[in-house]
Copies of this chain bind each other. A is one copy, B any other.
Amino acid sequence: PKTLVVSDSAEWDRAEDLLNADLRVAKVLGFDCEWVSRTDYHGPVALLQLATVTGLCVLVRLCKLEEIPEGLKKILADKSILKTGVDPLNDGKKITQDYDIPVKGSVDLRNVLRRFVRGINPNIGLKKMAKDYLDVDMDKSIFLRCSNWEADQLTPEQVNYGATDALVGVDIFMAIVSRRLFRSGIVGNLWSDDDLFKKIQAMCQGLVDVKFSA
C-alpha cells in the first residue's frame, strides 16, 4: 500500500493525478476523517483520508492547506464517486461545516451490510467488519485516535492509523459487493467488465448519502 501525505498544493497536485488514475479503474473511495476533540478544544477536520481500490491512500492535512484545492473539491462534491466508511455522511457534514464545501456520494458500510448480508446485525464497527470480511485484526488505539492531528508533523503511527481506516473501508466495501456480484452471476470477471461500476452503483441505489439507523 502506497500512502501519500498532502500538506501543500504541490503535494496535492501529485496525489490528484494518482487518485484520478485510480478513479478511472473504480469510482469508489474509502473515506475517513480525523480531528482534535478535547474537552477544551474541538477542532475542524484536520485530516481527510481517501483510499482507492488499488490500495493507494491519500492523507490530506486540511488544517495545513492554505486553501482547499479545486480538484479535491470536485472529488468530494461528485456524487457518482462513492465514499465509503462507517458514518461517512457525518464526516462529510463536518467537512462542509468546517470548510464550506459540499461532500456527496457517502455510502455507509452498515447500510451495505444490511442490504447484502442476510441475518447480520449491521450495527458493527470497522474493526469487526475487518475481522469478518478481510480476516484482518485492526489495532484501534485510543491513544492514536485522540492524538494531535494538527501537529506540525504526523508521526508514522498517525499516518498508518489514518491510512488503515480508509484502506480497510474500501476493501470491506469491495468484499461485500464483489461477493454478491459473483454469487448472483451479475459479473463474471471484474477486470473485463466495462459496466462494473454501473452495476455497483445500481447495487447502492437508495444507500447514497443515507444515514444509518440501527
Contacts and interface: CB of A to CB of B under 8 A. Distances in A.
Interface of A: 1, 25-26, 53-55, 132-136, 167, 170-172, 174-175, 178-179, 182-183, 185, 187-192
A192 B179 contact: no
Nearest to A175: B188
Given A179-B182, A182-B179, A172 B191 contact: no
A191 B54 contact: yes
A185 B134 contact: yes
Contact of A172 (B26, B171, B188): B188
Contacts of A170: 189, 192
Contacts of A182: 175, 178-179, 182-183
A121 to B, nearest CB: 18
A209 to B, nearest CB: 23
B135 A189 contact: no
Contacts of A179: 182-183
A26 to B, nearest CB: 7
Given A175-B185, A178-B182, A183-B183, A191 B134 contact: no
Given A179-B183, A182-B175, A188 B134 contact: yes
Contacts of A183: 179, 182-183
A8 to B, nearest CB: 27
Contacts of A136: 188
Given A182-B175, A182-B182, A183-B179, A188 B133 contact: yes
A25 B172 CA distance: 21
21 contacts: A26-B191, A53-B191, A53-B192, A54-B192, A55-B189, A55-B192, A132-B185, A133-B185, A134-B188, A135-B185, A136-B188, A170-B192, A171-B189, A171-B192, A172-B188, A174-B189, A174-B190, A174-B191, A175-B185, A175-B187, A179-B182
A184 to B, nearest CB: 10
